[in-house]
Amino acid sequence: MPTLTAQQHRDEARGEFDAYLESCPSRKLLARLADKWVALVLKSLAEGPKRYSEVSRQLAGVSQKMLTQTLRSLERDGILTRTVTPSVPVRVDYELTLLGESLAGILGQLKVWAEQHMPEVESARADYDTRP
């Protein structure tokens, strides 16, 4: 059996994931990425590194608990980094990793699509709601 390079191992492993299967870990990742706060956090950080308070202000309506959970899960998945600078008060900055940057573009497009097509969606909802 020939020896595989690290890239070949990664390519082979990619083929083993199938999000249609309940037990596939990629399904859990998709569920996390489908969260509305994830898309908005990534779009916010795509503009550049930000402090926690900046992200919080930009995302009107997100609770401190939900924002913290979202940031921690994205950090755990390698999508963003958290940098603590010892000062008074402590400064915490968040920044996308290369992996996060690759995802931010995709989710950013979803945000733009939602904003552009909201009138059509509202019209479709109104039509649906008036049906007998």
Query: Does the pTM exceed 0.85?
Result: no
Percent of the chain with pLDDT over 90: 61
Structural domains of the chain, ranges and CATH numbers in brackets: 36-129 (1.10.10.10)
| pLDDT tens, the chain, 132 aa long | 577 777 766 666 566 788 888 888 888 888 888 888 999 999 999 999 999 999 999 999 999 999 999 999 999 999 999 999 998 888 899 999 999 999 988 888 888 899 999 999 999 999 999 999
Strands (E), 38-116: 50-51, 80-85, 91-96
* pLDDT the model gives residue 21: 86
